[in-house]
Every structure is written in C-alpha cells, then in structure tokens.
Amino acid sequence: MSEQSLATVDVGEAGIGWLADPTELMQRTSHAFYGADDRLWLIDPIDVPGLDGFLDSHGEVGGVIVAFDRHRRDAAQIARRFDLPVTVPPVLDGFVGSIDAETRVRPACETAELQFRTLLDSRLPPWREAAVIGPDRTTVYVPEVLGRAGYYTAPGERVGVHPMLRVAPPRAAVQSLSIQTLWCGHGRGLTDAQTEVTRALRDARTRLPAAYLSALGGLLR
C-alpha cells in the first residue's frame, strides 16, 4: 500500500481512523483520539506505509493504547518509533509482558481525558476488553464486542455483536456507555449510533442464525 492509498475513515472532530487494508474480510481498523492535551492518542494501531506522514498531518502523537487482549497489533513497534510507552487498561494487566515495548497500566489517560470502561473480563471464552471513551464522552471506541465488518452483521443490521458473543453479549456494560458515535476495531464507524447499538444488543441472539449465514456467505465469496 502506498502512502497515497492509505485508507482513512472516521475523520472528524473526535479524531481520525485508518483501515489496514480496505479489501480484507476482517476490516481491521485503527483510530486516534484528539486528546484534551491536543495530541493524538493511537488505539489498537496497525502500521501501514504512509502512517507517520498521515499522523503528522493531524498533530503530535501523545500515546499508544491497547484496549483488547488480541489487539496488540503493531502497537509496540509504533510506540518504540515515537519513543512512547504503551498504555493498557487494568483489565489487560496480565498481558503487559507480551507487549514488546515499555508498557504501563492506567485506569484512564488523564492528560488526554480518555476513559477506559471494562466490557469483558472472562475466562470462558478467554476475553479481556475495554472501551475507550473520548474527551467528548459521546465518541466511544469498542475494539471487538461490536463491529461493522460484514461478518459481524445479519442482513439489515448496521452494527453487530461479535459472532462468538451473540448468545450472551455484555449488554449491561455496553448499555452503560453513551455512544453517539461508535468507533470499532473492525469496520468503519457510525454516527447517531445509540439506537443501532441498542438494537444490536437486543437482537443479538434471535438474529444469530441470520448473522452466521451472512458470515458464511462472505467467506465463500
């Protein structure tokens, strides 16, 4: 991917985002909040050609965050390149040793006014995930519980619950968030998202067969 082809998404007042590869099935998406300290805070970032120039055009990088136990992605190499530590929420405390960079555990990024909220802390399935709440308190990054990539959604859904969690999604944790703009770890974001998120949680189990059929169809294409 050349610098010119870096695929940007979710660019707005809250921050910026980019896709690892617009053609891939998983639609892995990275984001950066504009912190209250006027710096960029990268979340679950994936390194792509042209990334440093893209970030530089939007501001100074102030920090790197990993919010999901399976989203270490390229956080370590990007953090080392910018000479910054990787910040993780307390729910990921046990994963600090697996990140190949200086890592710190924090309940929030106070200077940036970013908050963490635990969504899942589970042994079965093994799953540790936190949402990241932006300084505006209405833009929320959800790494994996919710997504907008095709394999997440049943026909007609604009947001879906992860296929592994549809039987028992963490409804209370997600519903405690005021999500007006949703950023996801998989797929483009969504504005005016609260109604769609509520519907996705409510229908997660009943629409499970349709979602699985849709995901299978995507794999076979």
Which residues, including other chains, have CB under 8 Å from residue 172's CB and lie 6 or more apart? none
Q: Exposure of 58 by Cβ count < 10 A (0-12 exposed, 13-18 middle, 19+ buried)?
A: middle
Number of H helices, E strands in the chain: 5, 15
Predicted confidence (pLDDT) per residue in 157-181, tens digit? 999 999 999 999 999 999 999 999 9
Mean pLDDT (the chain, rounded)? 94
Give the model's pLDDT for residue 142: 98
DSSP code of 212? H
Distance between CA 164 and CA 31 in Å, rounded? 23
Domains and their CATH numbers in the chain: 3-220 (3.60.15.10)
- Whether the Cβ atoms of residue 162 and residue 213 lie closer than 8 Å to each other: no
Predicted confidence (pLDDT) per residue in 41-99, tens digit? 999 999 999 999 999 999 999 999 999 999 999 999 999 999 999 999 999 999 999 99
Query: Is residue 4's pLDDT more than 60?
Result: no
SS3 159: coil
Percentage of the chain modeled with pLDDT above 90:
90
Which residues, including other chains, have CB under 8 Å from residue 93's CB and lie 6 or more apart? 105
Distance between CA 98 and CA 204 in Å, rounded? 32
Give the model's pLDDT for residue 5: 62
Please compute the mean of the pLDDT values over residues 199-210 and round it to a whole number. 95
For residue 155, the cross-strand partners are: none
- Whether the Cβ atoms of residue 61 and residue 52 lie closer than 8 Å to each other: no
